[in-house]
Structure 1
Amino acid sequence: MNESDIVPLENYLRDTIGLASDSIGRGLVMRVAQRCMSAAGAHTVAEYVVRLRNDSRLRQVLIEELVVSETWFFRDRQPFELLARLALDRSRARPLRVLSMPCSTGEEPYSIAMKLLGAGLASDAFHIDAVDISEGALAVAKHASYGSNAFRGDEGRARDMWFTPAGARWYLDERVSSQVKFHHGNLFTFAPEVRYDFIFCRNLLIYFDAPMQGTAVRLLQDLLVDDGVLFVGHAEAAVLLREGLVSWPELRSFAFTRRADRPVKAKAVSTAQAHSRVRAPSLPKERLPFSDVVRRTERTFTVQTEDASLAEIQSMADAGRVDEAALLAKAHLATHEPSAEAFYLLGIIHDARGDAGGAEAAYRKTLYLNPKHDGAITHLILLLDKRSDPEALRLRQRARRPSGRGGNA
């Protein structure tokens, strides 16, 4: 079997689950196809694709071979911190609705539930739907027991509060697991009757090509309430900027709203709120128009630290002023010590401008300063894949190793 032989299967995967084979490596797709075809007794790819279209079990076997269920609790803490603050700020007459898709083996939706309960929301103040294409991953999620590899950060307090140890496993408290309802499906088949206040869709868009990414972002927006917030992976921020969404100002939260929405900064959760299990206030807070927020920020913002300067640059880029943001980012780099995060932000801005050369240079400088920067590795892979550069394979192998501190999601 050669690469041209699998084109019908590649087209099938793209049309049904959105998967671009280049995102995981055509070699991997070929090896999986050969194993699955042999097990199914199919002699040609064309025959195999016909059978896939007519046999849901055969289709599921292929999917289970292709998906990667690699995650852990509170993966990248900032999105969960922002979610908790916004949830308290946006408490409604009805329960808040949260969607986690893809949910993998359950660590993400359960992290959401733990965070919201710990922030003070009552159990009937929110509901979480969790969707994944892998039946195997969902079976693990529903069992709600995990090994030590699911706890990779500073999660000792959450583990002690919400889990019971038994041998080498940790079993999740039913108060958390009962908040989550699991569904088998994917972005293109999931059709709920409700819309969501918050959606976590992290590290899915990186497996799609550009046209499919645009389709996926539109579908995700359709699933949001008018002022809903979408959380994505660090490597997907440029996609949402390209599609016209607006980023929240918190660095490394990777949260977005529609351009017409109003991203007013959420208030902090007090210690008292975090440790009391009381319902949040039921009345929504008044929100300022986005233009007023921008004007107020421009009047009062003072650059005091590197992070503040980067936040200003990101805010400018989010407002669509990418050319000015690029100039400001370069000025920042000229007046500060070299910073991996500054070069990474410059790369994201170049990506949003369509400047592949500038983006690649910035990502490479990021990796020079921080060789384990997940975001720069993933973005550089996408750029190299577009020109079929073999270096992408080496970087992809590097990206699958345990991640470093920079740009994790």
Structure 2
Amino acid sequence: MTDILNDADFDRFRKVIYKECGITFSGTNRPILDSRIKEILREKKIATVDEYYNLILSDREEMKRMLDSITTNLTRFFRNQPHFDAFINYVIPHVLEEKKKTGDRTIRVWSAGCSTGEEPYTIAMILKKILPPGYSFSVTASDISLKSLMVGQSGFYADNKIDGVPADYLSAFFTKVNGGYQISKEIMEHVKFDYHNLQHESGMKNLDVVFCRNVMIYFDEAAQLVVLNNFWNAMAQHSYLFIGHSESLFGMKTKFEFLKTDWACLYQKNS
């Protein structure tokens, strides 16, 4: 199969993607970018790479659609159960202890890079199940994929997408409908889906927990540090950060402290 991007084309697309969202394309994943651009040109009936490149520079919505097309959205409910075990057994009890000191009764969580919504809905179901009376919660779910956000907002998942959901959660928070399952309104009302580029400040404050799992692997260290600083600024004085089990902040100049629990490793902000 002939590449549609020559070396110069690849370089300029790689640079504009990095500038826009911090995602790094190297020689090893060049074929992914090439195939996505080829598909877009065919769908839009655009004759040349130059024409499409000029289009994304002049049209912000088209830029968003291009970024959407190059992202990979792999997720599932209760993905990496040890993280959720640590969330239930360590993080939330410690967050509640801090809340008692301040009188604040709202737990605030950000699912950054939420894809099609399985992660934020998992978080919301857990909080609905374990929080004591008198506490409320909100989950902000963000991504740069508009298509994924629309799936999350619908709250509908095909039968094969609910594998791994415990039976008690399935019966309590889902309704069986034709072709799949619908998340209950009592869960959906706690989750807000929002388009957000992690290279930019979110505007959020006093977050108790941030989940950003298997997202920063697409960034180089400079872009990772931008994301981590943005998280730090959005998080409460005593708060917690989950990243992917194959990701690490080791050797990076961040303010986050490594935390090893009986269930999983994560990071904390104490300042």
Q: Fold match, TM over 0.5?
A: yes
What is the aligned partner in structure 2 of residue 68 from structure 1?
72
Indicate if the aligned counterparts of 1:98 and 1:199 stay in contact, CA closer than 8 A. yes
Is it true that 1:227 corresponds to 2:238 in the alignment? yes
Indicate if the aligned counterparts of 2:65 and 2:146 stay in contact, CA closer than 8 A. no
Q: Deviations over 1:283-320 (max 9, x none)?
A: xxxxxxxxxxxxxxxxxxxxxxxxxxxxxxxxxxxxxx
Distance 1:102 1:84 in 2: 21
Is it true that 1:206 corresponds to 2:217 in the alignment? yes
Distance 1:122 1:109 in 2: 21
Question: Which residue, out of 242, 254, 260, partners 2:252?
Answer: 242
Say if 1:190 and 1:231 are closer, same or farther in 2 by CA, change over 3 A.
Answer: same
Could you say what the CA RMSD is over the residues aligned between the two structures, in angstroms? 2.3
Is it true that 1:192 corresponds to 2:203 in the alignment? yes
What is the aligned partner in structure 2 of residue 314 from structure 1?
none
Higher mean C-alpha deviation, range 196-205 or range 155-164: 155-164
Distance 1:109 1:251 in 2: 23
Q: Deviations over 1:49-89 (max 9, x none)?
A: 33212212211321232122221111111222222332233
Distance 1:240 1:9 in 2: 30
CA drift of 1:36 comes to 2.5
Residue correspondences, number: 258
Indicate if the aligned counterparts of 2:142 and 2:193 stay in contact, CA closer than 8 A. yes
Indicate if the aligned counterparts of 1:23 and 1:207 stay in contact, CA closer than 8 A. no
Letter of the structure 2 residue corresponding to residue 171 of structure 1: Q
Say if 1:177 and 1:107 are closer, same or farther in 2 by CA, change over 3 A.
Answer: same
Distance 2:244 2:12 in 1: 30
Give matches, 1:94-243, under 5 Å.
94=104, 95-122=106-133, 124-153=135-164, 155-237=166-248, 239-240=249-250, 242-243=252-253
Where structure 2 has 5 or more consecutive residues not aligned to the other structure, the ranges are none
Say if 1:22 and 1:128 are closer, same or farther in 2 by CA, change over 3 A.
Answer: same
CA drift of 1:151 comes to 2.6
What is the aligned partner in structure 1 of residue 17 from structure 2?
13
Q: Is the helix fraction higher in 1 or 2? A: 1
What is the aligned partner in structure 2 of residue 87 from structure 1?
92
CA drift of 1:152 comes to 2.9
Letter of the structure 2 residue corresponding to residue 230 of structure 1: L
CA drift of 1:210 comes to 2.0
Q: Secondary structure at the match of 2:142?
A: strand
Indicate if the aligned counterparts of 2:121 and 2:191 stay in contact, CA closer than 8 A. yes
Q: Secondary structure at the match of 1:63?
A: helix
Where structure 1 has 5 or more consecutive residues not aligned to the other structure, the ranges are 263-409
Q: Relative contact order (alpha carbons < 8 A, sep ≥ 6): 1 or 2 greater?
A: 2
Q: Secondary structure at the match of 1:141?
A: helix
TM-score (norm 2): 0.86
Percentage identity across aligned positions? 23
Question: Which residue, out of 20, 30, 34, partners 2:34?
Answer: 30
Q: Is the strand fraction higher in 1 or 2? A: 2
